[in-house]
């Protein structure tokens, strides 16, 4: 079993044990997709690489693309198919996103929260471009190296152990109590005054963002962090290198946006 297959199956364990529908709110979806909006999607062909249980596709389909396809390597496609049942012009495909080449090129290819779990994140980026039509757009989101010092030093070593344990033990014996601690931390920060001195605290911006959600979502995030066999934290300079290494990108269209102090949204368009 390849490293990416092992990772996909680990995430499938997480996705297939969630309630029906999307684990994300509409606001979260729109935040992840910005600066893209409904007007960029309506009537366009769209591909999601690494769709999981279709939690993002549930919202994307409401922006009325002319065709929407989701690709994932793990058995989470079974849950994705259930979540997309009855939706017109939607397809879920089980495939390795790194090697995937669709039967068509797409107006938009997006990949949210997946590249940093691949054995070779740059290969995932190349797949995004390969499946984007000339003049089309690509959009991604990855964990940043910047702003994640606490995660790299504390959580990542724990992940290397937890990812080898039975999923139920990781979820309920490790992720659940850790999520409870972070839940209390985030909720406390959310009620404190916004003063500059607090900004030096670990994951401050991210904590304020996630504090809007319920405990179950905290546990989902913690479990996702701990169940995966591999996670990379991508520095901005690496994304800049990805852009620079592809002459078919319209470099006047590219963007790299810091999100919640610990991740990057990035994207652009291919040359016509």
153-208: per-residue pLDDT in tens? Answer: 999 999 999 999 998 899 999 999 999 999 999 999 999 999 999 999 999 999 99
Same domain, 246 and 220: no
User: Considering the entire predicted model, what is its pTM?
Assistant: 0.92
Same domain, 65 and 154: no
pLDDT for position 234: 97
Domain around 22: 3-144+233-270
Same domain, 94 and 131: yes
Same domain, 245 and 135: yes
Same domain, 117 and 247: yes
Same domain, 250 and 218: no
Rounded average pLDDT over 98-102: 93
Distance CA 270, CA 272 (A): 6
**Domain count within the chain:** 2
Per-residue tokens: 93: 């495909």
Same domain, 116 and 199: no
pLDDT for position 65: 98
Same domain, 122 and 256: yes
Based on the number of CB atoms within 10 Å of its own CB, is 61 exposed (0-12), middle (13-18) or buried (19 or more)? buried
Does residue 17 have a pLDDT over 90?
no
Same domain, 41 and 81: yes
**Per-residue pLDDT tens digits for 63-79:** 999 999 999 998 889 99
Same domain, 104 and 14: yes
Contacts of 29 (CB under 8 A, 6+ apart): 22, 56, 59, 60
pLDDT for position 62: 96
Give me the CATH number covering residue 93: 3.40.50.150
pLDDT for position 74: 82
């Amino acid at each position: 079993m390849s490293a990416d297959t092992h990772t996909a199956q680990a995430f499938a364990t997480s996705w297939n044990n969630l309630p029906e529908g999307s684990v994300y709110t509409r606001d979260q979806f729109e935040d992840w997709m910005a600066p893209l909006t409904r007007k960029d999607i309506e009537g366009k062909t769209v591909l999601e690489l690494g769709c999981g249980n279709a939690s993002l596709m549930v919202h994307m389909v409401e922006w009325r693309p002319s065709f929407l396809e989701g690709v994932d390597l793990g058995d989470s496609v079974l849950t994705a198919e259930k979540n997309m049942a009855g939706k017109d012009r939607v397809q879920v495909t089980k495939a390795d996103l790194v090697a995937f080449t669709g039967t068509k090129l797409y107006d938009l290819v997006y990949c949210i929260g997946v590249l940093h779990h691949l054995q070779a994140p740059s290969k995932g980026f190349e797949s995004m471009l390969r499946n984007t039509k000339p003049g089309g757009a690509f959009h991604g989101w990855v964990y940043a190296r910047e702003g994640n010092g606490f995660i790299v030093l504390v959580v990542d070593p724990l992940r290397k152990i937890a990812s080898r344990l039975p999923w139920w033990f990781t979820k309920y014996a490790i992720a659940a109590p850790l999520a409870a601690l972070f839940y209390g931390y985030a909720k406390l920060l959310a009620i404190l005054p916004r003063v500059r001195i607090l900004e030096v605290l670990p994951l401050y911006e991210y904590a304020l963002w996630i504090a809007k959600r319920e405990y179950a979502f905290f546990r989902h995030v913690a479990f996702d962090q701990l169940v995966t066999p591999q996670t990379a934290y991508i520095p901005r300079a690496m994304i800049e290198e990805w852009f620079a290494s592809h002459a078919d990108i319209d470099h006047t269209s590219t963007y790299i946006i810091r999100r919640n102090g610990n991740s990057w949204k990035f994207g652009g368009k291919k040359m016509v």
